[in-house]
């Protein structure tokens, strides 16, 4: 894989990840762009011990442009996009409308004695999986998935070395039902200056399990139990297993986990990276065949934090959809949105069986 860094017209960084060494990446960004927005503001919520980012500049971000105006397609003679090249394999660049950044923003302060504020330090990146606007992750080749995984490993390492970053979170939102604002196949990476609530919950449970069991890894034990039970396993290979969690929150939710306990994507070895693509593409194909419709989903890489809990963490990809039937969506209503208490309409064992039956 060839890695090439360039600067966009407003100073943001773009990195090409090419599968061929002879790719020409000398094309400059010919746009006249305003300076990037200032950093967001982080506000502490003392009632739940969480940080909330206020990024008002994101109200002006691009929303559902036409294919001809897509900012993630390769540039042409008549349309200059975020990608200056006329074709590309995988490209990663700083988000033009970031939730977190290192640019100057409001200084730290407090709204009340209980609500301190601080700049939204961090970084948000966009990961373009292909230059083909009409593709999807499920339509990628295993070789392209490998390039994406290697790019995510590269970015996880680089972002984890930035000052103040505590968590690196790669993810993909797919489908208008999820709320995507750009149709081009892409994902994102957030480098948080704090540990998000789910990471804190995962770490807390993992540490308590390790204390009770003399240092055993909780996720590894859960994965082994699911593989032994078998009734919620969807598909597996030598290095990975995809299964529906026994306490799945979403109608169709699958964890894709490596058999070896590793903290993050950079820790995957060559064989594990190569084996991920074929299995994950299989799972995504099953999702789309469930209702013979493109399945809206969120694919969230759960990685170890940068500075703590790496010894008890276990990398896994959490894939889930809000679609519960061909004509019905799962909405986060009172119990889920207000209390964080999920109610699932589909038994996980039934979901796993339907996904198994959706194989080719």
Q: Nearest Cα to 317, choosing from 251, 255, 258?
A: 255
Residue 184, marked binder: yes
| Ramachandran angles phi, psi of 78, nearest 5° | -115, -5
Both tokens of 153, joined, read 């490993």
CA distances from 110 to 50, 102, 150, 245 (A): 15, 20, 41, 41
With a pLDDT cut of 90, the percent of the chain lying above it is 99
CA torsion 166-171-177-180 (nearest 10°) is 90
Q: What is the pLDDT of residues 109-132, one digit of tens each?
A: 999 999 999 999 999 999 999 999
| Cα–Cα distance, 28 to 14 (Å, whole number) | 11
Residue 259, marked binder: no
Q: Tell me the pLDDT band of 292, cut-offs 50, 70 and 90.
A: very high
Q: Which of 20, 57, 79, 186 is catalytic?
A: 186
Which domains does the chain show, CATH number per domain? 2-194 (3.30.428.10), 198-357 (3.30.428.10)
| Cα–Cα distance, 333 to 179 (Å, whole number) | 16
| Cα–Cα distance, 72 to 74 (Å, whole number) | 7
Mean pLDDT (the chain, rounded): 97
Whether 239 sits among the annotated catalytic residues: the reply is: no
| Cα–Cα distance, 304 to 311 (Å, whole number) | 9
Q: Tell me the pLDDT band of 194, cut-offs 50, 70 and 90.
A: very high
SS3 string of 265-329? HHHCCHHHHHHHHHHHHHHHHHHHHHCCCCCCEEEEEECCCCCCCCCCCCCEEEEEECEEECCEE
In this prediction, residues 148-163 reach a mean pLDDT of 98
Residue 57, marked binder: no
How confident is the model at residue 360, as a pLDDT?
76
Burial class (CB in 10 A: 0-12, 13-18, 19+), 263: middle
Residue 70, marked binder: yes
Q: What is the pTM of this model?
A: 0.97
């Amino acid at each position: 894989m060839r890695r090439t860094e360039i600067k966009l017209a407003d100073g943001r960084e773009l990195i090409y990840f090419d599968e061929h060494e002879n790719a020409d990446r000398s094309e400059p960004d010919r746009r006249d762009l305003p300076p990037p927005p200032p950093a967001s503001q982080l506000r502490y919520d003392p009632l739940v011990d969480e940080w909330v980012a206020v990024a008002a500049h994101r109200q002006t971000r691009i929303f559902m442009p036409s294919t001809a105006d897509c900012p993630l397609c390769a540039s042409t003679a008549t349309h200059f996009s975020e990608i200056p090249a006329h074709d590309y394999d995988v490209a990663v660049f700083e988000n033009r409308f970031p939730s977190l950044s290192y640019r100057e923003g409001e200084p730290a302060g407090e709204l009340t004695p209980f609500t301190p504020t601080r700049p939204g330090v961090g970084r948000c990146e966009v990961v373009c999986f292909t230059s083909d606007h009409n593709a999807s992750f499920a339509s990628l080749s295993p070789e392209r998935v490998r390039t994406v995984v290697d790019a995510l490993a590269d970015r996880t390492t680089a972002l984890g070395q930035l000052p103040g970053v505590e968590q690196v979170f790669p993810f993909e939102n797919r489908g208008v039902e999820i709320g995507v604002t750009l149709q081009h196949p892409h994902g994102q990476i957030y480098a948080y200056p704090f540990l998000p609530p789910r990471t804190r919950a995962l770490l807390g449970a993992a540490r308590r399990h390790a204390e009770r069991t003399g240092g055993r890894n909780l996720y590894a034990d859960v994965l082994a139990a699911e593989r032994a039970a078998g009734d919620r396993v969807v598909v597996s290979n030598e290095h990975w297993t995809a299964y529906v969690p026994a306490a799945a929150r979403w109608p169709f939710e699958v964890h894709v986990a490596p058999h070896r306990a590793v903290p993050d994507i950079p820790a995957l070895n060559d064989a594990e990276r190569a084996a991920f693509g074929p299995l994950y593409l299989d799972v995504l194909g099953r999702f789309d065949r469930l209702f013979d419709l493109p399945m809206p989903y969120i694919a969230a890489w759960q990685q170890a934090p940068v500075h703590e809990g790496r010894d008890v963490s276990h990398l896994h990809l959490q894939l889930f959809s809000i679609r519960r039937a061909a004509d019905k969506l799962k909405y986060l209503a009172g119990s889920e949105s207000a209390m964080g208490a999920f109610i699932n309409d589909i038994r996980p064992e039934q979901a796993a069986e339907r996904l198994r039956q959706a194989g080719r």
